[in-house]
Amino acid sequence: MSESPGQWPEDVAIRFYAESSVSLPGMGDQPESCGAYYPSKFCTDCGNPHFEQSTCETRTCPFCWSAWRRRRAEQITVRLGAARATADPGLDKRAVHVVVSPPTGSIKSLVDIQRGYRETYELARAKGIRGGVAIFHGFRVADAAKDAYDAAVKSGEWLPERDGKLWRWVRQQDASWRDLTYWSPHYHLIGLARDVGWSDADEQEGWILRRIRSLDRFSPNIDSGYEDMIGLSMYLLSHSTFETTASKHSIRWFGELSTNQFSPESELDAGLYDLIATRARELAGTAQGTESDTGGSGPNEEQSECCTEGCSGDFAPIWEAGAALSDPRFCDSIASETESLLNAAFQWAIGDRPPPDDQLFPKTRTEAREILRELAAGT
């Protein structure tokens, strides 16, 4: 296959330390506490405690990375949307997607990756991008894997509209994602710019900026602009690359949108900010539970009513159980066994009476209820 401008060849005869020191979202281990059940609410009528499943929402977790991605896409959309809403009318509201690629063989270490961000920002500003967000990608899909993907699509075995694009296919293969990719670092930018053209590698010491497209027009009252920013952000974050042993951010803000230069809350009036934040949250799917890309469970959907048979009471946060248990009228209205369970759940939730260490992270609701009964019996 022909190489696109800035794409490194697959057969670069160099081993890069950076390549083995970085990873993709969802390719780590699930933390022990992730997926455990804990008392979170209680019914204000019958007093029964309710359990929810915890989520870590970390980028490395194979079950929660998609929730992490949605949350970051929401945050990107709010910040970009706010900046576009406050920009001068006309072309200043335009956002563009570009990719910046370093010279072949130049990014060998983690220090080189960080230095590359600075080079990327300088080139972007020189080409008219006033500010925006940067997301680093360390890998590209190998030609052989692309051919296999194309064959799967052609045969109907893989339908992009149903199953996702190329990187989703890579994730679903039995082979390790590292066997299907190769080191070819580059930086994706979504930024504010009237217009951006290609850069000349000879003029930029081998660095190349390539314009991908302009994003849909943004208006705070029209969903399409939000959806375009969310969709692009989620795609770029799906194979963003980060150090496995560091907590450096996967997204970086630069120029006029850097965190020390732009504050959406300060630039927008409260009503407009709330509108943008609410629509971004709803359209990104972070307002309620979502299913992860691995098929595992993401955050649970919110339940607003009691699930006890015959009870239609509402839930209250578990930390309010202390006040309820101090109210004699409430205690008289519920069964004594339920009162003991609720008291134990409240003590568990606030950390005063946690389960034994070997039962600290129950993985099923049934197991959590049994632990709660044991805690209540020990009062």
Please give the share of the chain, as a percent, with pLDDT higher than 70: 88
DSSP letters along 299-352, please? Answer: SPPP--B--STT--PBEEEGGGHHHHHT-HHHHHHS-HHHHHHHHHHHHHHTTS
CA-wise closest residue to 282 among 113, 77, 141: 77
What pLDDT does residue 300 have? 44
105 in Cβ contact with 14 (< 8 Å): yes
CA-wise closest residue to 43 among 305, 303, 301: 305
Confidence band of 200 (pLDDT split at 50, 70, 90): low
Q: What does the alpha-carbon distance between residue 379 and residue 91 come to, in Å, rounded to a whole number?
A: 68
Domain boundaries, the chain: 49-56+314-377, 65-284
pLDDT in tens, 52-81: 999 888 999 999 999 999 999 999 999 999
Distances (CA, A) of 147 to 4, 139, 166: 16, 17, 11
User: Which has the higher per-residue pLDDT, 309 or 87?
Assistant: 87
User: Which has the higher per-residue pLDDT, 14 or 311?
Assistant: 311
What pLDDT does residue 305 have? 59
The whole-chain average pLDDT of the chain stands at 88
What pLDDT does residue 286 have? 86
Structure tokens, 331: 């205690």
Q: What does the alpha-carbon distance between residue 32 and residue 338 come to, in Å, rounded to a whole number?
A: 29
308 in Cβ contact with 43 (< 8 Å): yes
* Strand residue runs (E) in 58-148: 95-101, 131-141
User: Which has the higher per-residue pLDDT, 202 or 291?
Assistant: 202
CA-wise closest residue to 254 among 193, 198, 200, 195: 193
> Count of CB atoms within 10 A of residue 71's CB?
18
Residues, the chain = 379
Q: Name the amino acid, one letter, at 299.
A: P
95 in Cβ contact with 323 (< 8 Å): no
Confidence band of 238 (pLDDT split at 50, 70, 90): very high
- Helix, strand, or coil (residue 283): helix
What pLDDT does residue 10 have? 78
pLDDT in tens, 120-148: 999 999 999 999 999 999 999 999 999 99
- Predicted structure pTM score: 0.83
pLDDT at 156 over 90: yes
Average pLDDT over residues 151-176: 93
What pLDDT does residue 247 have? 72
pLDDT in tens, 184-199: 999 999 999 998 876 6
For 128-263, where are the alpha helices, taking DSSP H only? 143-155, 160-163, 166-172, 223-238
pLDDT in tens, 246-301: 777 889 999 999 999 999 999 999 999 999 999 999 999 987 544 444 434 444 44
